[in-house]
Amino acid sequence: MHRFSPAMDALIEALRCLPGVGPKSAQRMALHLLERNREGAATLSRSLADAVERVGRCQQCRNLAEAVLCGICADTRRDASLLCIVETPGDILAIEQAGGYRGRYFVLMGHLSPIDGIGPEEIGLPLLEALARDGEVQEVILATNPTVEGEATAYYITRMLEPLIPRMSRIAHGVPLGGELEYVDGSTLAHAFSGRQPVPGS
Amino acid sequence: MHRFSPAMDALIEALRCLPGVGPKSAQRMALHLLERNREGAATLSRSLADAVERVGRCQQCRNLAEAVLCGICADTRRDASLLCIVETPGDILAIEQAGGYRGRYFVLMGHLSPIDGIGPEEIGLPLLEALARDGEVQEVILATNPTVEGEATAYYITRMLEPLIPRMSRIAHGVPLGGELEYVDGSTLAHAFSGRQPVPGS
Ligand SMILES: [Zn+2]
Ligand SMILES: [Zn+2]
């Protein structure tokens, strides 16, 4: 079967490391770059090399960082007594974009998944425990995903930190604001019912 | 608004040069690469640089090539009396994968589109005319896409080559109207080739 050329074929294969990119889209992407946007391709090549070289993990919260501390941990205006535990750096971005939270984060970079060999060590829990023992953190907000694994991870962390942290909470899960009940999936609805809050004044 | 870090933000921006990749998928891709597949990211960086450096155009047919001639033009077993005119290198791949065609190609790298400033020069028609004047090509198969622009381009080329080429045909049966050749399955394409029709007036 005819392919394009060695360098094109290698590029198409390499593009498949991107999530959600199959053989057909990889081919479409490679052709687009080579036919129409060589400057973009060169920039992307440099950006990838730069990011791989420069981006590591924050030594305090495991967030992606280009220095010992990430931008949030290095920001002294953030409230160090408040710690929000999330699964990924993308979750931090979502929370920051929502606004209103002024504490710090701890990034698990995943969740407990014994079947995949991901235990407490792999998601940085020894580092989290050491941080909690420092005594600066007074409140922990568990913001892992409302999935089976996210819930199990939140439960495990709650048990681990209970002796060390005065206040711990789990973010509320339920029907999204502006969402229509009719279009919300069943497990979210079940969650919204079991987590119902008393109406003020009722 | 908080972003990730300078190198991450640059990577997310650079990923948007890929077709069909918006801000959300670019962010998901960057996080996936940095968190889970740094080796893949490094390989992709090198493959992009390699392809940009090595891949040029075939001087005979305008196909993507890493030498003066592409693999097909350099292959002396291909029938040089038969020339199939396509819009992109992806079309060549689709036709080769369908099998059965043993002639050569000419790649327009687009189609006539006066509104975008794409005229005969931009799609290599002077080179195509010179090739036709050589006298080796006895039959031309017009395999531009069955879109308004593809049809107009095929019509223009037919008028241009009429005095030079004894037989000209347009692929027709099986290719869905408004569809793109690159995404048509192999047997449909093979059918379209065997059922090609003489161009009226040629
Ligand atoms: Zn940090
Ligand atoms: Zn060629």
The interface predicted TM-score (ipTM) is 0.79
Phi, psi dihedrals of residue A171, rounded to the nearest 5°:
-60, 150
Q: Is residue B125 part of a domain?
A: yes
Cβ within 8 Å, pair A7-B72: no
Choose the closest CB to B43 out of A6, A14, A28. Answer: A14
Q: For B181-201, what is the mean pLDDT?
A: 70
pLDDT of residue B97: 83
Cβ within 8 Å, pair A51-B1: no
**Segments of chain A scoring below 70 in pLDDT:** 1-2, 179, 181, 184, 192, 197-202
User: Given CA atoms A179, A183, A185, A189 in this order, what sign does their dihedral have?
Assistant: positive
Q: Is the pLDDT of residue B30 over 80?
A: yes
**Where residue A186 sits, what CATH number does that domain have?**
3.40.1360.10
> CA A167 to CA A137: how far, in whole Å?
9
Q: Is residue B107 part of a domain?
A: yes
Cα B49 to chain centroid distance, Å, stands at: 21
pLDDT of residue B1: 43
Structural domain count of chain A: 1
Q: Are A85 and A169 in contact (CB under 8 A)?
A: no
Q: Where are the alpha helices (DSSP H) in B55-103?
A: 71-74, 89-98
Tell me how close the Cα of A133 comes to any Cα of chain B, in angstroms: 27
> CA B65 to CA B48: how far, in whole Å?
15
Cβ within 8 Å, pair B19-A32: yes
Choose the closest CB to B6 out of A1, A38, A66. Answer: A66
How many angstroms is it from A115 CA to the middle of ligand 1? 28
User: Mean pLDDT, chain B, as a whole number?
Assistant: 89
pTM listed for this prediction:
0.78
How many angstroms is it from A23 CA to the middle of ligand 2? 24
Q: Is the pLDDT of residue B107 over 50?
A: yes
Contacts of B48 (CB under 8 A, 6+ apart): A11, A14, A33, A41, A42, A44, A45, A48
Q: Is the pLDDT of residue B39 over 60?
A: yes
Question: Percent of chain B at pLDDT above 90?
Answer: 70
Q: Is residue A187 part of a domain?
A: yes
Q: Are B108 and B62 in contact (CB under 8 A)?
A: yes
Cβ within 8 Å, pair B97-A29: no
From the CB of residue B83, how many other CB atoms can be counted at a distance below 10 Å? 24
Cβ within 8 Å, pair A66-B97: no
Choose the closest CB to A44 out of B14, B43, B93. Answer: B14
Q: Is residue B168 part of a domain?
A: yes
Q: Are B145 and B111 in contact (CB under 8 A)?
A: yes
- The sheet with strand B79-86 has its strands ordered as B103-107, B79-86, B139-142, B167-170, B197-198
Q: Is the pLDDT of residue B129 over 90?
A: yes
Closest CA to A145 of A90, A83, A82, A81: A90
Measured between beta carbons, the chain B residues lying within 8 angstroms of A37 are 17
pLDDT of residue B200: 67
Please report how the helices A89-98 and B23-36 are oriented relative to each other, as an axis angle in degrees rounded to 10: 140
How many angstroms is it from B4 CA to the middle of ligand 1? 11
> CA B82 to CA B92: how far, in whole Å?
14
The one-letter code for the residue type at A83 is: L
Q: Which letter, b or e, does each residue of A87-96 get, where b requires 16 or more Cβ atoms within 10 Å of its Cβ?
A: bbbbbbbebe
Q: For B154-158, what is the mean pLDDT?
A: 95
Q: Is residue B181 part of a domain?
A: yes
Choose the closest CB to A10 out of B7, B47, B93. Answer: B47
The one-letter code for the residue type at B96 is: E
pLDDT of residue B53: 97
Q: Is residue B149 part of a domain?
A: yes
pLDDT of residue A201: 60
How many residues does this entry show for chain A?
202
Range of the domain at A166: 78-196
Phi-psi region of A99 (alpha: psi -120 to 50; beta: other; left: phi over 0): left
> Which listed ligand is nearest to B4 at the C-alpha?
1
How many angstroms is it from B104 CA to the middle of ligand 2? 8
